[in-house]
Amino acid sequence: MPLATKRASVWPVVAVLALGVALPFLLSGGFQLRIAMLIWIFAILSMGFNLLYGYTGQISMGQQGFYAVGAYAFALLQIKLGLSPVLAFAGAVAICAVLGLIVAYPLLRLRTHYLAMATLGFGLILNGVANRWIDFTGGTAGLTVPPLTWGGEALGRTGIYYVVLAIAGVVFLLHDFIARSHVGRALQAIRDDETAAAALGVPVRRYKLRIFVLAAAIAAVAGCCFSVVSLRVDPSLGEFHILVSMLTIAVVGGLGTRFGPLIGAAIVTILPQLLLQFGAAETLIYGAFIVLFLLFIPHGLAGLVENVRWTRKSAAPARTAATNVLEVKG
């Protein structure tokens, strides 16, 4: 089956966002709206991971760390410095971007599982800080985040939903712009073959740094959104289950695809709720579901939807690994 030769259109994204706008009118009750907000938040987090790992091939197992730092910074900038939510949001994203740069600079010379281990270590350090620096982070109890207000009154659930949707929409459009443009092609080139990418004028190291910083900033955006929704930040934000959710979303949705993060986030958020009726068997069924996905749809649902493009991806990492060996041997 031939791959698309036409440039991808922005209209599917616009349609999805229009559905997002209509969602509060279609859903019944606050619980469903809360699920919808969680979907958008996980979609944001996963889009950063998708750009970094799916498109550029640089794995980071520390995204939950940036997610937590973003959420904590958003809370602390308001509590300790009395900043407005908008300024606290900008500050939290900026802090994570700078932190991302500091982490990426030494770590991005590593590849594959070495990079995974190093970034995982970064995540674990941050989690330790959140748990033990009790005076600053509130320890395991966490911090209470001041609610968003509008005209002196606390913003209602629907209002908060639209705030989250607006932010998610911007991230979604940015993610999609990168995925469809020459920038996305350059990132895929880096993922597939760094030497060839450099020969074609792609500044490989600079692009890897930039995308790592962007992914960290996007994780911070997701963290801020979570604080706004839950009104509480605690160390569980930076824990393993966030990373596992992100990886599950990648598997279910499809890495390196335009809609994988959103589709994956929707399924990973909704499915456990649907399985609750099975009681104790829920985890078992959920686990079996993930295994079936890995066996039969290894490139995710978006991979199925966006034609066969992803089926090539399995060859790419092996090829990169072989190239590395050659480079080391000189």
Partner 1 sequence: MNVPLLNVSGATRRFGGLVAVNEVSFEIGPGQVCGLIGPNGAGKSTMFDLITGVRPLSSGSIHFMGRDVTQEPAHSRSPMGMSRTFQIVRLFPGMSVLENVLMGFQPKFPDGVIRSLFGIGRLGGQERDARQRAYEILDFVGLADRAGDRIDELTLGQLRLVDIGRAMAASPRFLMLDEPAAGLNDAETNNLAEMLARLKADGLSMLLVEHDIDFIMNACDKIVVMDRGTKIADDIPARVRTNDAVIAAYIGKRAHDAQH
- Interface residues toward partner 1, by CB under 8 A: 2-5, 7, 174, 177-178, 181-183, 185-186, 188-189, 191-193, 195-204, 207, 210, 214, 256, 308-309, 312-313, 315-316, 319, 330
Least distance from C-beta 223 to partner 1, angstroms? 21
Least distance from C-beta 308 to partner 1, angstroms? 8
Name residue 267's amino acid.
I
C-alpha angle with apex 160: 159 to 162, nearest 5 degrees? 65
Least distance from C-beta 188 to partner 1, angstroms? 5
DSSP conformation class of 6: S
Which residues are CB-contacts of 315 (< 8 A; sequence separation ≥ 6)? Answer: none
First-to-last CA distance in the chain?
38
Least distance from C-beta 208 to partner 1, angstroms? 12
Question: Which is closer to partner 1, CB of 137 or CB of 257?
Answer: 257
Question: Which is closer to partner 1, CB of 83 or CB of 101?
Answer: 101
Q: 3-class SS at 149?
A: strand
Query: 135, 154, 136, 158: which is closest to 146 by C-alpha?
Result: 154
Question: Which is closer to partner 1, CB of 132 or CB of 319?
Answer: 319
Question: Which is closer to partner 1, CB of 166 or CB of 288?
Answer: 166
Question: Which is closer to partner 1, CB of 3 or CB of 86?
Answer: 3
What distance in Å separates the CA atoms of residue 270 and residue 293, rounded to the nearest whole number? 16
Question: Which is closer to partner 1, CB of 78 or CB of 320?
Answer: 320
Residue 248 near residue 264 (C-beta atoms within 8 A): yes
DSSP conformation class of 102: H
Question: Which is closer to partner 1, CB of 189 or CB of 233?
Answer: 189
Least distance from C-beta 57 to partner 1, angstroms? 9
Least distance from C-beta 36 to partner 1, angstroms? 28
Question: Which is closer to partner 1, CB of 126 or CB of 186?
Answer: 186
Q: What is the DSSP string of 42-97?
A: HHHHHHHHIIIIIIT----S-HHHHHHHHHHHHHHHHHTT---HHHHHHHHHHHHH
Across the strands, what pairs with 143? 233
Least distance from C-beta 256 to partner 1, angstroms? 7
**Token output for 318:** 């092996």
**Counting Cβ atoms within 10 Å, is residue 124 exposed (0-12), middle (13-18) or buried (19+)?**
middle
Question: Which is closer to partner 1, CB of 105 or CB of 177?
Answer: 177
Least distance from C-beta 299 to partner 1, angstroms? 11
What distance in Å separates the CA atoms of residue 96 and residue 62, rounded to the nearest whole number? 12
Least distance from C-beta 187 to partner 1, angstroms? 10
Name residue 178's amino acid.
I
What distance in Å separates the CA atoms of residue 282 and residue 259, rounded to the nearest whole number? 27
